[in-house]
């Protein structure tokens, strides 16, 4: 739930002039390319560390991203969701792999 809230807040602060007084939306593009993938990657790692199901937190974060895109951007940014899913699965898979190697040693 926390990653979804972070995604929505980042979208809000990036697309409105609440914090940064800007005329373009470069902060939103930075969040699309850097911050959101990092959030999904960290979520995958934490989910693997906690040994919980990755799909429920992933769906909640995807819904947070879809809400953000629906409110402040156009639908062309929805294509990024597949990249974010890959980042989450990568974080989950690599962490689980390290956990298995640690147990066998």
Average the pLDDT over 62-75 and give the result. 87
Read off the pLDDT of residues 11-30 as tens digits, 9 standing for 90 and up.
Answer: 777 777 666 566 566 777 88
Residue 55: pLDDT over 60: yes
Average the pLDDT over 76-90 and give the result. 93
Q: What is the pLDDT of residue 25?
A: 66
Integer Cα distance of 102 and 14 in angstroms: 40
Reported as a pLDDT band with limits 50, 70 and 90, residue 8 is: confident
Average the pLDDT over 67-73 and give the result. 85
């Amino acid at each position: 739930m926390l990653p979804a809230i972070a995604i929505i807040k980042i979208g809000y602060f990036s697309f409105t002039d609440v914090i940064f007084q800007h005329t373009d939306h470069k902060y939103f593009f930075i969040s699309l390319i850097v911050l959101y993938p990092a959030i999904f990657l960290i979520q995958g790692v934490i989910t693997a560390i906690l040994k919980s199901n990755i799909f429920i937190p992933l769906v909640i974060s995807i819904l947070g991203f879809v809400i953000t895109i629906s409110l402040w951007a156009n639908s062309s940014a929805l294509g990024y969701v597949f990249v974010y899913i890959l980042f989450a699965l990568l974080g989950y898979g690599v962490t689980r792999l390290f956990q298995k190697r640690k147990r066998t040693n």
